[in-house]
Amino acid sequence: MAWPVRCGAVPALVDGFSARPETSPGLPAALAPGGTVALVPSRGPAEAKTGSQDSGCGKTQLAVYAAESLWRSGGVDLLVWVVATSRASILSGLAAAAAATGSGHVGDAEWVAARFIEWLGQTSRPWLVVLDDLRNPVDLDGLWPAGPAGRVLVTTPDPQTIPGAVPLPVPAFSTREALSYLMGRLTVDPDQRLGAIDLVADLGCEPQALAQASAVIARSGLSCRDYRDYYAQRAQLAEAGGGQRSATAVTWTLSVEHAERLAPGGSVQHLLALASLLDGHGVPGTVFTTAAVCQYLAGEGAGRAVDPNVAWGALLGLERAGLLSVDAASTPPTIRMTSTVQAAVRAATPTALLDQVARAAADALLEVWPAEEPQPWQATELRSCTASLLQAAGDLLWAGGCHPLLVRAGQSMDSARLTRPAVAYWRELAAASDRLGGPCSRVTLTVGSHLAGALLTAGQAAEAVAWAQRVLAGRARVLGPDDPGTIAARIALGRALMAAGQSDAAAKVLEAAAADCERVLGADHPDTLSAQEELAGACLGAGKPEDAIQLYQHTLAGRERIQGPRHPDTMTTRQRLADTYLAEGRVKDAISQLKRVLGDRERILGRDHLDTIMARGSLAAAHHSAGRMAPALQLYEQACQGYARVVGADDPQTLLSQANLAHALYKAGRLSDAATLLRDTLDRCARVLPPEDPLTQTLRESLANIADG
């Protein structure tokens, strides 16, 4: 591992950034090792006048400056930037940091994040974790970073004190800071600075308002005095109409007009409305050039979509007008937009347009969402954008039925092993579907099926059974008992019952499912074979190993005939049959099958595929059971090396393989080698596994037995 390490997308500093020497001078001193600082909005005179608590005071920019200063000075070996708007976003950020530091990244996101937090508390390397835009401190339960070598910097829109943190209020600019900032942005034409002092006063020194005003002035022929006249007119109109009176709420309208002059054609406002519905902390730039967005910009009924280059040009016009930022250093470019501008745009978007904008945004996100997610950071952004869209658009995404994006986001949470957030997400989606589509609609039943699976993953088997039963009853009533969807629901119920420890009930359900598959699909259909294999597992759990063996033998013969002897499904079935043989003491049969499995997997998958390594370990266990210690030790050693090479020395699979090797060494009479390996493995287990983990307990007992012996 090469240090120093940084993780997370740190926003860039804006042009003309001010370090706030007058209004926030205490940040460097407060951000000391072992402490937590919270940048919170301050209700100064400007905020008190408008009733706003956070009109873009620049907390995130101060956090960026502090983080980058520490990084450049070598003050930290680890910099982690986490968007903290939700539990899911926090878990994703911490899990990515765990992977980047090698502190353990196997398991569900809750476990990985907790291990990383524990590592932060123990490491001597100096670190900084920035939790940007924390909305709810409850989202950090069990995940608060702390440690003598570390610093934690939180930005939050809530002025309430965060427990354990030193609050540092961030007000609007001082007059001197505001004037310095404005002058720094207007360097090309000195005449544009005329009226700067009066403009600063009119804008109440609000950083966001000054950013928008200076962007328009710098890229136009206006002076500060000219802009002030336009601003006064807009402010009077807003006040007469009962609208918002904060400076930012007025300046953004002038920025929109300027953006339209830079990119004429009518795309600017529509693009701005779309961006306001997504996660302002980071939207993949490809979203704005999708076919969905280009068609939306062309208008309903238009035969030809807008050219993607035109859409991108409009986006750059919004950037030049100070309404959003484009981080071209990332791939793809990342689009950011402050929450204050987003809120103002959403408030001004006509209700009639919102439905069209929301559907276009959902279509665009779905269009860029890859079927496989090779870049976790992008999936995080897409999930966060979906959450923002759902919060802003609500039931609009259910017009004509549940938008596929909503299901895709939940599936992404499942695949990212965001266990708790996934359960919460599917619960909310199920409730919405039940309310809008009815308890027996196809969408409600599909979402309920996903919820049952998420509950099963989260270890909540009893509730998973209840949902699986509900889905099965609904599908049988709506689709009929012989529909493939109904049969799949019956199989899912069987799995849930198995997880709940109800093996006998599971076997009955799966026996019916296997019979239905054979009757509806035919005896040789792959789904029929899979159902029979599920039934075999249930029989084994119900204490009927002979029935399980017969089913596995039958399924294996079918797969060899239909799918071929080296099809992945065939090899998996052969592995399960061999494992059952081994569990029942039929060692010779197990070894025969496992040799075939290992040979086939090496040829098809390669020596370092995890399935191949697992087969090697299974064959070692079979030789171990037969008392053939020489081949058992050789295969165990090869499995240990393979796991360490592929998944790492601290992965639970590697540790279990080392434990198996230690037990084999003990049986072979190599007590000293066994004790040494057990101690090393136990130390690793204590470091990376929960204290109550069964493997840790088994190793302690084994080591004690060796000592007693």
Of how many residues is the chain composed?
A: 709
3-state secondary structure of 367: helix
Which CATH code fits 647-709? 1.25.40
pLDDT in tens, 45-75: 444 344 344 456 789 999 999 999 999 999 9
- Can you tell me the mean pLDDT for 605-623? 94
Give the DSSP per-residue string, 405-422: HHHHHHHHHHHTT-HHHH
CATH of domain 5-170: 3.40.50.300
pLDDT tens digits for range 111-137: 889 989 989 998 999 999 999 999 999
pLDDT (0 to 100) of residue 677: 92
Task: For residue 604, report the phi and psi dihedrals to the nearest 5 degrees.
Answer: -85, -45
pLDDT above 80 for 229: yes
DSSP letter for each residue of 419-475:
HHHHHHHHHHHHHHHHHHH-TTSHHHHHHHHHHHHHHHHTT-HHHHHHHHHHHHHHH
Gap between the Cα atoms of 605 and 567, Å rounded:
11
Using an 8 Å Cβ cutoff, are 104 and 688 in contact? Answer: yes
Residue 20 contacts residue 178 (beta carbons within 8 Å): no
The alpha carbon of 191 is separated from its chain's Cα centroid by a whole number of angstroms, namely: 49
| % the chain with pLDDT above 90 | 77
What pLDDT, on a 0 to 100 scale, did the predictor assign at position 355? 92
CB 112 within 8 A of CB 104: yes
Give the residue ranges of DSSP H helices in 154-223.
175-185, 196-202, 207-218
**Other CB atoms within 10 A of residue 198 CB:** 12
At residue 265, does pLDDT exceed 80? no
Which residue do the tokens 């109800």 mark? 502
Q: For the whole model, what pTM was predicted? A: 0.89
d(C-alpha 311, C-alpha 295), whole Å? 10
Of 583, 568, 570, give the one whose Cα is nearest residue 537. Answer: 583
Q: Is 425 exposed, middle or buried (0-12, 13-18, 19+ CB in 10 A)?
A: buried
Secondary structure of 324-351 in HEC code, one letter for each residue: CEEECCCCCCEEECCHHHHHHHHHHCCH
- Range from 157-171, 200-214, 587-601 carrying the lowest mean pLDDT: 157-171
Name the pLDDT band for 242 (thresholds 50, 70, 90): low
Indicate whether 212 pLDDT > 90: yes
What is the tens place of the pLDDT at every residue in 364-404?
999 999 988 877 767 999 999 999 999 999 899 998 889 99
As a whole number, mean pLDDT of residues 417-439 equals 95
Rounded distance between C-alpha atoms, residue 337 and residue 384, angstroms: 14
Reported confidence tier of residue 708, pLDDT bands at 50, 70, 90: low
For residues 84-92, average pLDDT: 96
Q: Please count the helices (runs of H) and the strands (runs of E) in the chain.
A: 31, 9
Give the CA dihedral 335, 341, 342, 343, nearest 10 degrees: 170
pLDDT of the residue at 161: 72
CA pair distance 171, 60, nearest whole angstrom = 13
**Cα–chain center distance at 73:** 31
Per-residue pLDDT tens over the stretch 266-291: 789 999 999 999 999 999 999 999 99
CB 134 within 8 A of CB 444: no
> For residue range 395-406, what is the model confidence (pLDDT) as tens digits?
999 988 899 999
**Helical residues (DSSP H) of 219-307, grouped into ranges:** 224-240, 247-262, 267-275, 291-298
Q: Which residues contact 372 (CB under 8 A, 6 or more apart)?
A: none
Please report how the helices 224-240 and 207-218 are oriented relative to each other, as an axis angle in degrees rounded to 10. 130
Residue 702 is predicted with a pLDDT of: 82
User: Which residue matches tokens 């109409």?
Assistant: 241
Mean pLDDT of 411-420: 94
User: At 16, is the pLDDT very low, low, confident or very high (cuts 50, 70, 90)?
Assistant: confident
What is the per-residue pLDDT for 44? 47
Task: Name the strands in the sheet holding 36-41, side by side, starting at the edge strand that comes first in the sequence.
Answer: 5-7, 78-83, 127-132, 150-155, 36-41, 166-170
Mean pLDDT of 676-683: 90
Q: What does the DSSP assignment read for 41-86?
A: E---HHHHHHT-S-S---HHHHHHHHHHHHHHTT--SEEEEEE-SS
Distance between start and end Cα atoms, the chain: 41
The residue with greater pLDDT, 162 or 254, is 254
Report DSSP letters for 520-553, one per residue: HH-TT-HHHHHHHHHHHHHHHHTT-HHHHHHHHH
Supply 67's token pair.
Answer: 């983080």
At position 652, the amino acid (one-letter code) is: P
The token duo for 535 is 């039934």
Spatial separation of the C-alpha atoms in residues 520 and 98, rounded to whole Å? 48
For the chain, the 3-state helix, strand and coil shares in percent, each to the nearest 5, are: 65, 5, 30
d(CA 662, CA 672): 10
What's the alpha-carbon Rg for the chain, to the nearest Å? 30
> Is a pLDDT exceeding 50 seen at residue 567?
yes
Q: What element of type H or E holds 154?
A: strand 150-155
Q: What is the mean pLDDT of residues 545-551?
A: 95
Contacts of 331 (CB under 8 A, 6+ apart): none
Task: Provide, rounded to the nearest whole percent, the portion of the chain with pLDDT above 70.
Answer: 95
pLDDT of 104 reads 61
Backbone angles phi, psi at 347, to 5 degrees: -65, -30
Tens of pLDDT, residue by residue over 310-333, are 999 999 999 999 999 999 988 889
Question: Given this model, what pLDDT does residue 43 score?
Answer: 63
pLDDT at 164 over 70: yes
